Amino acid sequence: MAQPKVESIQWIEEPKQTLSMHPKKFALWLFIVSVVMIFAGMTSAYIVRQSEGNWLEFDMPQMLWYSSGIILLSSITMHWAYAAAKKDNLSSLKLAMSVTALLGVAFLIAQFEAWKELVNMSVYFVGNPAGSFMYVFTGLHGIHLISGVVFLLVVLINVFRYRVHAKSMDQIEMCATYWHFLDGLWIYLFLFLQLNH
């Protein structure tokens, strides 16, 4: 096997370590990319459609301000949970996770109240696309938020089983990433609707 030209000891070049990240976290980011593309498609459709005229003007429901506040608050509590997990402070972790999940539910209720406000203003899902888009944006985001709440609950259960702590942070890190993303996504949609109204 050894080649005569080489010295008596066979040296083999060391193959380089390849770039590598946590595969599941990486996959989560890719999933986020695909969600971004859905909403990028939707908001582009909104702009394209709006530019064609025949666009119903109506006031944004006041409730959306409150729901935006709620979801921003939930991002803070999510970070609190993350920090607590890092410090192995399990009682704060449980509290913070539960509060975050409750704020998530509160956000969904607030969004539903916003729909009621729209209905009271006679802006329905069926009718001018200006109104329909409003329902589609909030509804589609709401469905993703429900998945976020489910993710929160799964992590919360694992907290109670002592599976989330300073040495086992992957799950809560992914949960936090997704939750902050959903928060950011809503803030984007909210600003988008405020500005392109």
Name the site residues for other proteins (rule: CB under 8 A).
Answer: 1-3, 5-6, 10-24, 26-27, 30-31, 33-35, 37-38, 40-42, 44-45, 48-49, 52, 54-56, 125-130, 132, 136, 140
Q: Are 96 and 81 spatial neighbours (Cβ–Cβ below 8 Å)? A: yes
Q: Closest CB to other proteins among 150 and 166?
A: 150
What phi and psi values does residue 168 have, to the nearest 5 degrees? -135, 80
Q: Count H helices and E strands in the chain, helices first.
A: 5, 0
Q: Is 175 exposed, middle or buried (0-12, 13-18, 19+ CB in 10 A)?
A: buried
Q: Closest CB to other proteins among 82 and 115?
A: 115
CB of 87 to other proteins, least distance (A): 29
Round to whole Å and give the CA distance between 194 and 197.
Answer: 6
CB of 165 to other proteins, least distance (A): 24
Q: Closest CB to other proteins among 32 and 83?
A: 32
